[in-house]
Amino acid sequence: MSLQPLRAALLLSASLLAASPLMVVAQNAYAEAVAPWMDRTLSTDQRVAMLLAQMTAEEKRLLVFGYASGDQLTQFDPSVIPGLNTKEVVANVIPGSAGYIPGIPRLGIPAQFQTDASMGVRNHLMPRTSLPSSLATAASWDPQVTEAGGRMIGTEARLSGFNIMLAGGINLLREPRNGRNFEYTGEDPLLAAEMGAGLIRGVQSVHVVSTVKHFSINAQETGRTTLSAQISEPALRMSDNLAFELAIERSSPGSVMCSYNKINDVHACENEALLTDTLKRDWGYKGYVMSDWGAVHSTVQAANAGLDQQSGFPFDKQAYFGEGLKRALLDGSVPASRLDDMVRRILWALIDKGVMANPVAKGEIDFEAHHRVAQTAAEDSLVLLKNDKALLPLSGRKQILLVGSYADKGVLAGGGSSSVSPVGGNAVTGLEPKGWPGPVVWQPSSPLKALQAQLPKARISYLSGDDLNAAARAARSADVVIVFVHQWAGEGFDVSLDLNGQQDELVRAVAKANPNTVVVVESGGPVFMPWKDEVRAILSAFYPGARGGAAIARVLSGKVNPSGHLPLTFPASEAQFVHQDLPGGDLPPNSSFTVRYTEGAAVGYKWFDLKGYTPLFAFGQGLSYTTFRMDGLKAQAVAGAGERLAIDFTLSNTGAREGKAVGQVYVAAPKSAGWEAPRRLVGFRKLSLSKGQSQTVSLTVDPRLLAVYDEATSEWVIAPGTYEVQLGAASDDIRTRVKVTLAGQRFAARQVKAVP
């Protein structure tokens, strides 16, 4: 078929966008006639096959090789990609963005414009709206919250000219010191998957491809490019990879990003067991695997193991999927069928997610509306950890003192490739580090100003807290003191759980001066709180996003009833860590080392249960200004391919005001089941309940959450026996239990059907 008419048709189509609906229909029909792969009545697979058949070898290679943006691009030798003009790439890449892959206009294949990341469009040249950190929104325990957030950031991506978002970080919080924990969705595979899937669905709902990452077990930043994560196959399938498997099923991301680290001595981006056997064969994944920026180390091994697109050149040492792949295809070390498969997968994502049919167009962003989305997300996510003598909400208090952490100016955000430049500018400039992974960003949403607006009758003042004596003195004459503490975390480094500087001393000095002390914690992940028993209230805000200050003020004042629950465990001390010393922490940079994840799938609360440790705050904790009853628990085994559990329970609001309850269902297995730990979270539901209201919830437990992985047969195995189903408001606040007997079953790990 001659493609000239298509070109003409597509050009015509663009010029007709503003034409009458009738003309557009006629135009689309014409485009579909000459470009049958644009026909939306055909399946994605059919359309991909038609389009692939039109492509030359050179065009195919073009799609599997991605460029970074920025100065690096102008420095490399254009001959590494024959036929490609560097100037053309430099001219088209969006400045300050993550990356770019040229399109193929003659076939209507759009260029791929890539942007970071899960909290919003990250670009130092483009101020955009930041959601709360992913760990924060995971604390909402409500996938609708992350879905709304995903839709908002996807919309900003699209209006900024991007069609690929590197959004969807879901690595399990295995290492409490991991500097990127804030980019992920907590320590439990089911919760992490559900919350990450919400975000991905939201991004993709506006025809932007989303990227679940970093596949896999990228659990710490120290030595991230040189370490090998050592873990057994069953443990991996039952923990980090279970999160990826469930998230992929529930959201169908167009792409998966393989991580920097090695897994069992093989780099993730050239790991056949991971990319081909697990992801593509067993999970039936149809999208493409893109590398993290600088995570490729070979051509033949990576290509044959299942990597589909090298990203961000020249972050890698060589153009492995450029000139390297061309040579490998010529000498047959990478079969042509593999190149076809890479391209098929990329086209599948572009067509299936509607990127091809809905070209991006830059446009105006409704920042006010988008900031409201970010604020609502924060309001649903803040976690009230302690509230002795109902100190909060603050209503009726006349004199309130705020202390510390620039609470007069803004709220903290995490650093690195996910750091969104705030609309309105950085509220606190000049802090170290100014360079990567800085600058340290404070979102310009002042808790002080927001609280003053919420409580106009109160006298509310602020002190920096630099002078402990002055803070203590001022605290004495206040009705309530709110101390803000913070921990900055970011990409490329890990953190201590001890708050830096004299923040602990500040809390203690204030609490000693005034028992009515509230602490608001802005952190990347868990922190130690040696003063926990000395203060009356603690609110965990993580990094609360573009309107975090407003959300904090509305929760403190009582306008919003807190409903977040911890998606992670806060350890009480380092003695409770799996690794007392941070693996590789004592080695010179760039050393290779192995991290033995001997805890296997016993991550987070599972580890604490196994060891009998009492944490500082347990997984699932979160208080409300109202009270809830949780009862009516019923559990019934449902036979079928993959034994399931049908669960019913009732949540009732027994307090004096409306509120949101999270019913958390855990299952404890008999020892004979061989679980990694005594219990697992198997389901949850968040409900908004008015005063006195009750509602019944029914949910079905995915059979994989009841099973262990049998490596010898590649099957999931549910052991027969009596299991205990627990319903509670937190992992350490179980309200009711029932027993259920499971017959036991084995089912193939290959393409398990998602629970309807």
Cite the active site residues. Answer: 292
CB nearer ligand BGC, residue 113 or residue 607: 113
First to last CA, the chain: 43
Please give the residues from 83 up to 112 whose contact with ligand BGC meets the rule CB under 6 A.
Answer: 98
The token duo for 77 is 């030798």
Place of tokens 């919080």: 173
CB nearer ligand BGC, residue 404 or residue 437: 437
Least gap, CB of 257 to ligand BGC (angstroms) = 7
Integer Rg of the chain from CA: 26
166 binds ligand BGC (CB under 6 A): yes
CB nearer ligand BGC, residue 292 or residue 323: 292
Tell me the torsion sign for CA atoms 343, 344, 349, 355: positive
621 binds ligand BGC (CB under 6 A): no
Q: Which of 201, 192, 113 is nearest to 152 (CA)?
A: 201
Label residue 588 exposed, middle or buried (CB < 10 Å: 0-12, 13-18, 19+): exposed
Label residue 670 exposed, middle or buried (CB < 10 Å: 0-12, 13-18, 19+): middle
CB nearer ligand BGC, residue 72 or residue 395: 72
CB nearer ligand BGC, residue 311 or residue 664: 311
Distance of alpha carbon 514 from alpha carbon 535, whole angstroms: 9
CB nearer ligand BGC, residue 417 or residue 426: 417
Edge to edge, the sheet with strand 721-730 lists 679-689, 659-668, 721-730, 733-742
CB 518 within 8 A of CB 481: yes
What does each C-alpha distance from 169 to 242, 456, 569, 626, 695 come to in angstroms? Answer: 14, 40, 19, 33, 33
CB nearer ligand BGC, residue 484 or residue 543: 543
Angle at CA of residue 370, ends 366 and 376, nearest 5°: 155
Distance of alpha carbon 513 from alpha carbon 474, whole angstroms: 9
Distance of alpha carbon 458 from alpha carbon 461, whole angstroms: 10
Least gap, CB of 154 to ligand BGC (angstroms) = 16
**What are the helix and strand counts (H, E) for the chain?**
20, 30
x-or-dash string of contact with ligand BGC, 183-222, rule CB under 6 A: ------------------------------x---------
Residue 716, strand partner residues: 709, 747
x-or-dash string of contact with ligand BGC, 247-276, rule CB under 6 A: ------------------------------
CB nearer ligand BGC, residue 9 or residue 119: 119
SS3 readout for 411-445: EECCECCCCCCECCCCCCCCCCCCCCCCCCCEECC
Least gap, CB of 97 to ligand BGC (angstroms) = 9
Other CB atoms closer than 10 Å to residue 649's CB: what's the count? 24
171 binds ligand BGC (CB under 6 A): no
Least gap, CB of 295 to ligand BGC (angstroms) = 8
Least gap, CB of 222 to ligand BGC (angstroms) = 14
Please give the residues from 110 up to 139 whose contact with ligand BGC meets the rule CB under 6 A.
Answer: 116-117
CB nearer ligand BGC, residue 320 or residue 649: 320
Least gap, CB of 210 to ligand BGC (angstroms) = 12
350 by DSSP, 3-state: which?
helix
Q: What secondary structure does DSSP assign to 495-564, as a single string?
A: --SSPPTTHHHHHHHHHHH-S-EEEEEE-SS----TTGGG-SEEEE-SS--TTHHHHHHHHHHTSS----
Residues contacting residue 676 through CB under 8 Å, at least 6 positions apart? 235, 238, 239, 599, 600, 601, 602, 606, 610, 708
Least gap, CB of 309 to ligand BGC (angstroms) = 13
CB nearer ligand BGC, residue 98 or residue 635: 98
x-or-dash string of contact with ligand BGC, 275-314, rule CB under 6 A: -----------------xx---------------------
What does each C-alpha distance from 632 to 313, 623, 727 come to in angstroms? Answer: 57, 22, 10
Give the containing element (helix H, strand E) for 4: helix 4-15
173 binds ligand BGC (CB under 6 A): no
417 binds ligand BGC (CB under 6 A): yes
Least gap, CB of 492 to ligand BGC (angstroms) = 8
Distance of alpha carbon 702 from alpha carbon 189, whole angstroms: 12
Residue 521, strand partner residues: 485, 540
CB nearer ligand BGC, residue 245 or residue 292: 292
Give the containing element (helix H, strand E) for 646: strand 644-653
Please give the residues from 44 up to 63 whose contact with ligand BGC meets the rule CB under 6 A.
Answer: none
Least gap, CB of 314 to ligand BGC (angstroms) = 13
Least gap, CB of 94 to ligand BGC (angstroms) = 13
CB nearer ligand BGC, residue 213 or residue 565: 213
CB 131 within 8 A of CB 346: no
Query: Which letter, b or e, does each residue of 351-387 get, where b requires 16 or more Cβ atoms within 10 Å of its Cβ?
Result: bbbbbbbebbeeeebebeebbbbbbbbbbbbbbbbbb
Residues contacting residue 77 through CB under 8 Å, at least 6 positions apart? none
CB nearer ligand BGC, residue 218 or residue 278: 218
Place of tokens 């770019």: 100
Strands 480-486 and 517-522: parallel
Using CB under 6 A as the binding criterion, the count of chain residues that bind ligand BGC stands at 8
Least gap, CB of 294 to ligand BGC (angstroms) = 7
Least gap, CB of 213 to ligand BGC (angstroms) = 6
Residue 386, strand partner residues: 538
Distance of alpha carbon 460 from alpha carbon 417, whole angstroms: 36
Least gap, CB of 203 to ligand BGC (angstroms) = 14
Residue type, 631: D
Please give the residues from 488 up to 527 whose contact with ligand BGC meets the rule CB under 6 A.
Answer: none
x-or-dash string of contact with ligand BGC, 372-411, rule CB under 6 A: ----------------------------------------
Site for ligand BGC, rule CB under 6 A: 98, 116-117, 166, 213, 292-293, 417
